[in-house]
Amino acid sequence: MNNEQSITNKLINAFSALPGVGRKTAERFVFFLLKQPKEFLENFGADLKELPNHNFFCPQCFNYSEARTVCPVCADSKRDRAAICVVENFHDLNVIEATKEYNGLYHCLGGKIDPPEGITPDKLRVKELLERIQNDHIQEVILALNPDLSGEGTIIYLKKILAPLNVKISLLARGLPMGGEIEYADEVTLANAIKGRRILN
């Protein structure tokens, strides 16, 4: 293992590149892998090698697509084609999909408006969103952007340019997260929870 170019060292370096993985953790991964069956490692390696050949954008919603065709969500005939949920990227899309609460289509913006970082609306897929709303008889647009500064800015911008389009615009509810404690909630969250309170009787 003194050999800098040994296969374990190369793998430790590769794993260290993953987000949140330091050298110690990467070492643990590799020592764990050394004990795994040959078949597991061969499949794992083959899938990694294949990944670049299955990395496309859905031409409709810009979700990740494994082939040069529309993504599984857009291809699914059971989805409600009158609703578009606008997300920052396909990662957020997947998190929403996992809830199984939403049955419409998506639109991946590719980021949030962030002028200091040079991300202006023309760098995002805003034009494509407007075209879809106008051409595909969309009735509701859900703005599912992160409740942070640039997310709020993007929401304000989209609300403004969608206003003339005769489409219902909605936001994800803001309030206390499940398991959250009022005592420790920040003021904005608590204010949102009060504003959005539900009448029960």
50 touches its own copies by CB under 8 A: yes
Nearest CA-CA partner of 132 in 155, 109, 113: 109
16 touches its own copies by CB under 8 A: no
11 touches its own copies by CB under 8 A: yes
Buried-state track 167-199, b at ≥16 Cβ within 10 A, e below 16: beeeeeeebeeeeeeeeebeeebbebbeeeeee
Q: Please choose, out of 43-51, 112-120, 140-148, 192-200, the segment that lies near its own copies by the rule CB under 8 A.
A: 43-51
Cβ distance 63 to 109 under 8 Å? no
- Tell me the C-alpha distance between 15 and 30, whole Å: 8
Q: Please choose, out of 33-41, 109-117, 129-137, 153-161, the segment that lies near its own copies by the rule CB under 8 A.
A: 33-41
Among 16, 22, 46, 102, binds its own copies (CB under 8 A): 46
Chain contacts with its own copies (rule: CB under 8 A): 1-3, 6-8, 10-11, 14, 17-20, 25, 27-29, 31-34, 36, 38, 40-52, 54-55, 63-64, 66, 71-73, 76, 90-91, 94, 97
